[in-house]
Amino acid sequence: MTKAFLTVLAVASSIAVRARAEEPASQWVILNVGLVRVAPTRPGTDQPWTKVIEKPKRSGCGTVGAVMGLVTPGWSIVANALCDDSASTKVLKHASTDPDVFVRMRAGSKASFRSHTIRNTLSHNFDFSVLVPVQAIPRSGLEITVLVDDDTNSEDSQETIGSFHLSAAKIQAAVADGEVLKLSDGSVESLELLANYPDSTSPILAKKSLRANVQASVMSSTEAIAGQVVEFKARGHQIAQGRPDGNRQIFPGFPLGTPVAFVGKKGLVQKVAVEDCAMLLSKYGGTIAVGVNDRKPDANMGTIDFAAKVRNPSPQEWLGGGGALACPSSGEADSIVDRKWATKAIRRVNAYFGSKGEDIAAAIQMITHPSGKRPSIGNISATADDDRVVVQIPVSWSGGLIGGQYETLVVWDFYEARHNASVVSRDSSPTHVAKKNAQELDEFFRAKVFPAISNSR
């Protein structure tokens, strides 16, 4: 190798280093905790971390499955996706006296993010990433702690194995150097940390259309990193058919049939009700899934259109750390477009039912109560609800054997491009509308009424 070539190589290397140093710093940095090695005994002693116990410690995934109540076939698929326990819990080669270890990153009292727990281990590659706004790092530095999981819900009671504080300057220097930091403290013999700027700061968008009579679904190819914000929107009209039996709600705090969403992995899961919109700060990262708060949804009607946006947080959102965030207001331009379409659609509904109302009443009565007689349509009500139109259709009819007077109220809603659902919202008859009749009613509106409305001018 000639001296001239070496000189050119050195100059090129110097230019590359200087160019990298002059690249504009990102507002965010991703910190990834890799291999963590822990001493087999407590510092300064020959005492092992834990005592041998006969009963095995609970699995995080088993716990989340029980807490979430995801026991039906559809929900078990989502539970498995959120659990994904392949890299944790069962480490049989290690001694039972080795600690159950997890890693936590936090700044201040609220912004706290944690990894899953690895049972009985002295060495593990966590591959745990947290997205951090650089401006949110306090002067005292970002705290990274390795802890012993004692199976309590309070992290304050758990024993510290080792702890580190990294300033914003040190983290940004690590990004510029492109090297893995190897940290040690207390009984943490080594913690490998890699710092990088995000490849992209653009939000990730995903959509999922979910029928209200299915259990749940994973939003494929969409995941969140701990520290990111996930925004959910749920649009549609769904009604939980049948009478609640007290055990149908998976989450008792949410109404039956409420759209719900999950973010998590390896048994650490956040859940939120999405009545219209919802936002959360991801504390663990992982898979995104959506569903309906109902163990027995097979008779439900309607479709829910879920949308999820994964984005990087502001320093204020990240430092708030509470999980749930306030939803942003809808854009004025979108609402104007929706109102224009809805106004036209409502005019079409009123014109159609004005001419075909008695025919519709007869069809509703024949489908829902075949033994009834003399159907008559009442005053329909069509209203705009954001990007859909909701129509209430009261039908009066006479009973067959008893001869009483009854009313069946059908609620039908649709979007500009598709029918959503038609359901019996209220019925004064002592005879309950059968499941197959309810499905036939929905099909009648989808195949007959909606095309007539959408094709009219």
pLDDT score, position 95:
67
Q: What pLDDT was estimated at residue 18?
A: 43
Q: What is the β-pairing status of strands 229-239 and 101-107?
A: unpaired
Residues 383 and 349 in one domain: yes
Q: What is the pLDDT along the chain (457 residues), one digit of tens a residue?
A: 455 544 444 444 444 444 444 444 679 999 999 999 999 988 778 888 875 444 445 545 644 444 455 545 556 767 777 876 544 444 445 567 889 999 999 998 789 999 999 999 999 999 999 999 999 999 999 999 999 988 766 666 688 999 999 999 999 999 999 999 999 998 999 999 999 999 888 899 998 888 777 777 888 778 999 999 999 998 876 666 655 556 777 777 778 888 899 999 888 999 898 978 899 999 999 999 998 888 877 777 777 889 999 999 999 999 987 666 778 665 443 444 456 888 889 999 999 999 999 999 999 999 999 999 999 999 999 998 767 899 999 999 998 666 789 999 998 988 888 888 888 888 898 888 888 898 899 999 999 999 999 876 5
Distance CA 134, CA 167 (A): 10
163 and 244 housed in the same domain: no
Which of 328, 344, 377 is the endpoint of a domain? 328
> 227: exposed, middle or buried (C-beta count within 10 Å: 0-12, 13-18, 19+)?
buried
268 in any annotated domain: yes
Cα separation of 405 and 424, whole Å?
17
Number of domains within the chain: 3
Q: Look at residue 322 in the predicted model and tell me its pLDDT.
A: 66
Could you give the CA distance from residue 116 to residue 104 in angstroms, rounded to a whole number? 10
- 317 and 358 part of one domain: no
Question: Is 77 domain-assigned?
Answer: no
Q: What is the CATH number of the domain that holds 278?
A: 2.60.120.430
Supply the DSSP string of 125-158, one letter for each residue.
Answer: EEEEEEEEEGGGS-TT-EEEEEEE--S-S-GGGS
Let me know whether 284 and 345 are in one domain.
Answer: no
Range of the domain at 295: 204-328
Q: Is the domain of 399 the same as that of 321?
A: no
The reply to whether 295 and 243 lie within a common domain is: yes
Q: Among 294, 311, 328, give the residue marking a domain's end.
A: 328
171 and 209 both lie in a single domain? no
Any domain includes 2: no
Kindly report the CATH number assigned to the domain that includes residue 174.
2.60.40.150
260 and 380 housed in the same domain: no
Pairwise CA distance, residues 317 & 185, whole Å = 30
- Do 339 and 257 share a structural domain? no
- Is 71 a member of any domain? no
Residues 186 and 310 in one domain: no
Where a domain ends, among 284, 307, 328?
Answer: 328
Same domain, 30 and 135: yes
Handedness of CA 252, 253, 254, 260 (dihedral sign): negative
For the record, the structure tokens of 138 come out as 């306090």
Are 359 and 322 part of one and the same domain?
Answer: no
